[in-house]
Amino acid sequence: MRAMPVFKNRAKVKIFSYTVSALLVLLALSVSAAEKIRVATGEWVPYVSKAYQHHGAIGHVIEKIYQSEGIEVEFGYFPWARGYQMVKDGVWDTTMPYYCSPEREKLFYCSDPIAEGQQVYFHRTDYSFDWETIADLKGLKVGATLGYYYGEAFEKAERDGFFYVQRIASDETNFMVLMKERINIFPQDKDVGYAMIRRLFNEDERKLITHHKTPIHTKSLHLLFARNNEKSKHHLDVFNRGLKRMRSSGELQGYLQAMSDGVYIEGGAYEGVKK
């Protein structure tokens, strides 16, 4: 008669063991299924770079916002047109940094603006170049990068064959082509352009390239989320909420100032709010 309680205890032990095992499996599944956002981007110093701490200032902003919500962030570096297409196709979740053009808004949700970028025309110092309107560019050989938007006036002139546009895969190659005088001008964000020039050329070569003082436009930079991706609205809302908090606290401006100061290049990373 005393064997019965022992049998019950063994059964309880087995049940407890199965319960613990099931909980461990559920925990493992929960960890493996942790939410992740995949960010397609490209080298666009000083805003974003694989070589920079936290992928640069904009990468740092993205990390901070999503990680604070328990969302893992993965960055992938691709040619711009390829990364854009992969987000459009739902293979990756978002791409950045981009201008938010009317054409893009048909396919993508644009995040709230992160930073302002001024686009200018770069040219060689030994090439006499002046412009005020798009009409001044008639007949010129203009460099451009695949997947970039240069403003409606430029895009229309390109479609109409008003000037000759050579679109290639990377900004760096465009600067090399400009240095070799195979194109007359190359439109690029001013800060990005000079960062690339410092990296690509020696001191004497750098003196051969300058920019025109008249900007093509000054536009804000955004994340793009494909409208046909069911996760996009959620990722967009999380990012915009976090960006609003960062802007209110001064943290966002701190990251952008750190970018200007070269903190991310030097191997450090801005972690606090600059007052």
CATH (domain of 195): 3.40.190.10
Residues 99 and 229 in one domain: yes
Distance CA 89, CA 97 (A): 18
Q: Is the residue at 25 inside a domain? A: no
Distance CA 217, CA 159 (A): 19
State residue 265's pLDDT score. Answer: 81
CA distances from 64 to 133, 238, 246 (A): 41, 11, 10
State residue 30's pLDDT score. Answer: 44
CB 216 within 8 A of CB 148: no
Residues 193 and 240 in one domain: no
Distance of CA 164 to the CA centre of its chain: 28
Q: Is the residue at 94 inside a domain? A: yes
Q: Is 151 exposed, middle or buried (0-12, 13-18, 19+ CB in 10 A)?
A: middle
Residues 91 and 227 in one domain: yes
Amino acid making up residue 211: H
> Which helix H or strand E contains 164, and what residues bound it?
strand 164-168
Distance CA 222, CA 112 (A): 6
Residues 227 and 155 in one domain: no
Degrees (nearest 5) of the Cα angle 129, 80, 175? 30
Q: Is the residue at 8 inside a domain? A: no
Q: Is the residue at 13 inside a domain? A: no
Which backbone phi and psi does 223 adopt, to 5 degrees? Answer: -90, 145
State the pTM of this model. 0.69
pLDDT tens, per residue, the chain with 275 residues: 444 444 455 555 454 455 555 555 455 444 445 899 999 999 998 899 999 999 999 999 999 999 999 999 999 999 999 999 999 999 999 999 999 989 899 999 999 999 998 999 999 999 999 999 999 999 999 999 998 888 889 999 999 999 999 999 899 999 999 999 999 999 999 988 998 898 899 999 999 999 999 999 888 999 999 999 999 999 999 999 999 999 999 999 999 999 888 888 865 455 553 32
Residues 249 and 176 in one domain: no
Q: Is the residue at 271 inside a domain? A: no
Specify the number of domains making up the chain: 2
Q: Residue 111 sits in which domain range?
A: 36-116+221-260
CB 52 within 8 A of CB 264: yes
Residues 110 and 172 in one domain: no
Q: Is the residue at 11 inside a domain? A: no
State residue 33's pLDDT score. Answer: 57
CA distances from 71 to 25, 64, 118, 132 (A): 21, 10, 32, 46
Instruction: Write out 24-65 in H/E/C secondary structure.
Output: HHHHHHHHHCCCEEEEEECCECCCECCCCHHHHHHHHHHHHH
**pLDDT tens digits, 34-78:** 899 999 999 998 899 999 999 999 999 999 999 999 999 999 999
Residues 228 and 179 in one domain: no
Residues 106 and 242 in one domain: yes
Q: Is the residue at 21 inside a domain? A: no
Residues 135 and 205 in one domain: yes
**pLDDT tens digits, 132-156:** 999 999 999 999 999 888 888 999 9
Residues 125 and 203 in one domain: yes
Pairing of strands 164-168, 141-145: parallel
Residues 205 and 155 in one domain: yes
Residues 52 and 179 in one domain: no
Q: Is the residue at 127 inside a domain? A: yes
DSSP string, 64-76: HHHHTTT-EEEEE
